Amino acid sequence: MTPVRPAARPHPEAPPPGLLPSLSPKLLFSSAVIKDPWSHFSTLQSCKDDPLLAEEHRGAEMSPKVPGAHSRGDYCAVQVAVRVRPLLPKELLRSHESCITVDSELQRITLGHDRHFYCDHLFEETCCQEDVYSASVQPLVDAFFQGFNATVFAYGQTGSGKTYTIGEANICKLDNIYFSVYIIPIHFWYLVFPGSRLKSFLLRLTSLFAASCCVTLVCLGSFLDEEQGIIPRAVADIFKLLDENDLTDFSVRVSYLEVYKEDFKDLLEVETASKDIHIREDKGNIVLCGVKECEVEGLDEVLSLLESGNTARHTGATQMNPNSSRSHTIFTVYMDQRRGSSRLYGSASSIGPQMLSSKFHFVDLAGSERILRTGNTGERLKESIQINSGLLALGNVIGALGDPKRKGSHIPYRDSKITRILKDSLGGNSKTLMIACISPSSSDFDESLNTLNYATRARNIQNRATVNCKREPDRVEGLEQQIKALRRALENRQRSETRIISHADPNKRPRLREGEMGRLQAQSAHYRMCTDTAYRLLQELLGEGTLTSEQSLRVNEWLCSVEEERSGLTTAS
């Protein structure tokens, strides 16, 4: 029977919501006219003649389809999805042409007339948020639940739809809007017009206005749901999987980190200084120290934290994007789950109790910018330089990992903080999806070409994703006790054999050997076999790296003593 989870509540550590609704004028305009702005823009675009459509089915040379990313044993290639945003209204007004042709069957995108690129998932202008999530991200959520690390990062030029796709934009709650249009005015009337007849009229008018607003908001509810990006959908599915599998012993935590001009900022604990946040490596895994992790119990708590973090994020207006992200952000979901006897992912054998610990990075990279086009000056210019520097470092890492000719060469992870954080995701222990967001406008040809080139290299990166399974501590202790008992029994048997032989009558020794030697040899062989089994088992445990430092020290001492005994027996024989 599925346990009943308590209703999700706003996170207690999140600041109170703003008094004004967080809907932007652009979103309000879109929601008042249509249900899906992407399909709306696509409809506007289809009214224009596209010279590339006539060439789509011509007998041009087609490059062979590059095989998709797949798993090879423990290795799995980085998956690449390409999403093409619609032409924007300002681009249509300026008569911009589309320079992109999409072939969904071949997963091929053509830039210009003869530049072909292949990907694992291709989403054209008419694809909605649900299409992107279900086809490319949902398999990663399933793997995350099985104990794998996962990463989704959006890459592309500024204004290409990265933040919209990841789901950090348009986080809006209906109760916040209701609070703004009903509760606040009522308190205002009570304060300004105490005991006045006018107050009664104003209260009635406010109630009618709020009721009409609520009807409108209910009608827009489905629109807001369809506009949800990757993060809200993924978190909802994570809690759904936990409920469906009757797991009661688990914890889910989230953190929200910003990298702004190579400085860290904890978006859930803004008072934390950048110098107090550090990147550490623990047994090959990247660990962020000093970042606040908030435990959550439902989607509403996560959205509350995400919304509060977005208010502290660095954004600004440029000539190319009125709400440009000026920093990289990493929203991470951590999950620890204790399971009983079950099967590991991809394994046919059943195992005992296990502790699975996995993390899911959702990375929204700042968009690449051409300084001449943005027209940035002053502080915005400094931001652009830092953004492009970090993206250049990321491109160098992708190039080094994705170039077969540079296999085994130095990978410049330490050139920037964002590449250090993504070390697990690129070439490490993670299942990774890169979403390349591009603009179809001919004015953005160079930026789209650059993004697609990086996406092509990223498909060649091989990660080694493994289930993050920790042995139960009590099981380790039990094995240690069993090994100690076997060792004591072996030592007692050896001392007993020595006493029997040393105190025996010399005249009876030959007869003793004839009667007892076979039995003693059989017992000795049995104890040696037990010792060898324990030796191999401890070597495996030591190799997995799941023991504490004290346990590792004791195991090493025991292994050394066994080696000494073996060498002594070899010398004696």
Binding-site residues from annotation = 156-163
Could you give the CA distance from residue 368 to residue 454 in angstroms, rounded to a whole number?
A: 12
Question: Contact, 318 vs 374, CB < 8 A?
Answer: yes
Long-range CB pairs of 390-395, under 8 A, 24+ apart, other chains included? 390/259, 390/262, 390/328, 390/366, 390/416, 390/417, 390/418, 390/419, 391/365, 391/366, 393/418, 393/419, 394/155, 394/365, 394/418, 394/419, 394/422, 395/454
Could you give the CA distance from residue 447 to residue 356 in angstroms, rounded to a whole number?
A: 41
Give every CB contact of residue 515 below 8 A, 6+ residues apart in sequence: none
Q: Where are the beta strands (DSSP E) in 28-130?
A: 71-72, 75-77, 79-84, 100-103, 108-111, 115-118, 121-123
* Nearest one of 102, 154, 103 to 132, comparing CA atoms: 154
Could you count the other beta carbons within 10 Å of the beta carbon of residue 484? 13
The DSSP secondary-structure symbol of 136 reads I
Question: Contact, 438 vs 426, CB < 8 A?
Answer: no
Residue 305's identity, in one-letter code, is L
Instruction: Summarize the annotated binding site for ATP as residue ranges.
Output: 156-163
Could you give the CA distance from residue 152 to residue 431 in angstroms, rounded to a whole number?
A: 9
Alpha helices in 351-443 (DSSP H): 371-374, 378-402, 417-421
Could you give the CA distance from residue 161 to residue 84 in angstroms, rounded to a whole number?
A: 9
No. of H helices and E strands in the chain?
Answer: 18, 22
**Interior angle at CA 126, CA 300 and CA 448, nearest 5:** 95
- Report the C-alpha dihedral over residues 435, 438, 440, 441, rounded to 10 degrees: 170
Q: Cα separations (Å) of 348 from 219, 342, 344, 345?
A: 49, 10, 8, 9
Could you give the CA distance from residue 533 to residue 531 in angstroms, rounded to a whole number?
A: 5
